[in-house]
Amino acid sequence: MFSFLKRNSQDIGIDLGTANTRVYTKAKGITVDEPTVVAINLKTEQILAVGTEAKQMLGKTPPHISVARPLQNGIISDYEVAEKMLRYFIDKVHEGGISLLRRPRIIIGVPLDVTEVEVKAVEDSLMAAGAREVCIVQEPMLAAIGGRMPIEDPVGNLLVDIGAGKTEVAVISLHGVVNWKSTPIAGEEMNRNIVQYAREIFNIFVGESHAEYIKMKVGSVIPGTEILQIPMRGRDVITGLPKEVMITDVHIREALDRSIRTIVDHIKMALEVTPPELTADIHERGMLISGGGALINGLDRVIAQATDIPVRIVDDPLTAVVRGTAILLDNPDLLHQVRLPSARQSVRS
Give a yes or no: residue 51 inside a domain. no
Q: Are residues 240 and 301 in the same domain?
A: yes
Q: Are residues 306 and 326 in the same domain?
A: no
In 3D space, the residue among 169, 164, 206, 200 whose CA is nearest the CA of residue 185 turns out to be 164
Q: Are residues 185 and 286 in the same domain?
A: yes
Q: Are residues 299 and 335 in the same domain?
A: no
Q: Are residues 206 and 251 in the same domain?
A: yes
pTM: 0.91
As beta bridge partners, residue 236 has 204
What's the domain count of the chain? 2
The DSSP line for 81-146 is: HHHHHHHHHHHHHHTS---GGGPPEEEEEE-TT--HHHHHHHHHHHHHTT-SEEEEEEHHHHHHHH
User: What does the pLDDT read at residue 2?
Assistant: 40
Q: Are residues 274 and 156 in the same domain?
A: yes
pLDDT confidence tier of residue 74, bands split at 50, 70 and 90? confident
Q: Are residues 110 and 251 in the same domain?
A: no
Q: What is the residue range of 248's domain?
A: 152-314
pLDDT in tens, 203-245: 999 999 999 999 999 999 999 889 999 999 999 999 999 999 9
Q: Are residues 99 and 166 in the same domain?
A: no
Indicate which CATH number applies to the domain containing 203: 3.30.420.40
Q: Are residues 117 and 163 in the same domain?
A: no
User: What does the pLDDT read at residue 224?
Assistant: 84
pLDDT confidence tier of residue 289, bands split at 50, 70 and 90? very high
